[in-house]
Amino acid sequence: MQIKTTSFKDLIICNPSVYKDERGYFYESYKESLFQEKTGLSPQFVQDNQSQSTYGVLRGLHFQIGEMAQAKLVRVIEGEVLDVVVDLRKEEPTFGQSFSIILSAENKTQLFIPRGFAHGFLVLSQRATFFYKCDNYYHKESELGLKFDDPQLGIDWQLDPTALILSEKDQNNPDFETLKQLL
């Protein structure tokens, strides 16, 4: 596994070693001891989630607060997405900044997202299956969202906004200024 750091504390890009032959491929998508050795981090994952979406679906930006905050290790097992995070950790110099990366079944890249980030993704392929590990359980009462198209965040979603498909909940998420009052 190759690890690449980002300018955000503990936001880490993981590229597994993939072994290919005429039968297909094999790789370890996660090995706790290796992850700890390479990153110095020790998340204890307790829940796996998976979703499937079609082209233009934008899910996010979501996060949980307080004791129910979640770190995530995310990847795509079918298709391609634009994965986006926003740093909501007030004590960090990257507070309010976003980071995006293409995750796909082809590149097998994973992103480790520490607690304190809002997260979302946009499906760029006809269909995508998104998989992620969480270090805390889903807790509806602790869940919040952030407006995906807040101009203050300046996220380039790479698609015309009229082509995006969002849930009603995601269409009504608060903007960054409003959200700062809740953090």
Task: Give residue 7's pLDDT.
Answer: 97
Q: Which of 19, 62, 119, 138 is the catalytic position?
A: 62
Longest CA–CA separation in the chain, Å: 55
Query: Are 70 and 155 within 8 A, CB to CB?
Result: no
φ and ψ of 39, to 5 deg: -110, -20
Q: Is 132 a catalytic residue?
A: yes
- What is the dihedral angle through the alpha carbons of 104, 167, 51, 143, rounded to the nearest 10 degrees? 110
Query: Are 76 and 104 within 8 A, CB to CB?
Result: yes
* Of residues 109 and 181, more confidently modeled: 109
Task: Give residue 140's pLDDT.
Answer: 95
The beta strands (E) that lie in the chain are given as 2-5, 12-15, 19-21, 24-26, 47-54, 58-64, 72-78, 80-87, 98-104, 110-113, 117-123, 127-134, 143-145
pLDDT tens readout for residues 15-61: 999 999 999 999 999 999 999 999 999 999 999 999 999 999 999 99
- CATH architecture classification, 2-180: Sandwich (2.60)
Task: Give residue 25's pLDDT.
Answer: 94
d(CA 142, CA 79): 30
Give the percent of the chain with pLDDT over 70.
100
Q: Which of 132, 137, 138, 139 is the catalytic position?
A: 132
pLDDT-derived band of residue 138, with 50, 70 and 90 as boundaries?
Answer: very high
pLDDT-derived band of residue 91, with 50, 70 and 90 as boundaries?
Answer: very high
Task: Give residue 183's pLDDT.
Answer: 83
Check the CA dihedral 77-170-94-179 and report its sign.
Answer: negative
pTM beyond 0.85: yes
Mean pLDDT in the chain?
96
- Average pLDDT, stretch 96-106? 98
Q: For residue 182, is pLDDT > 90? A: no
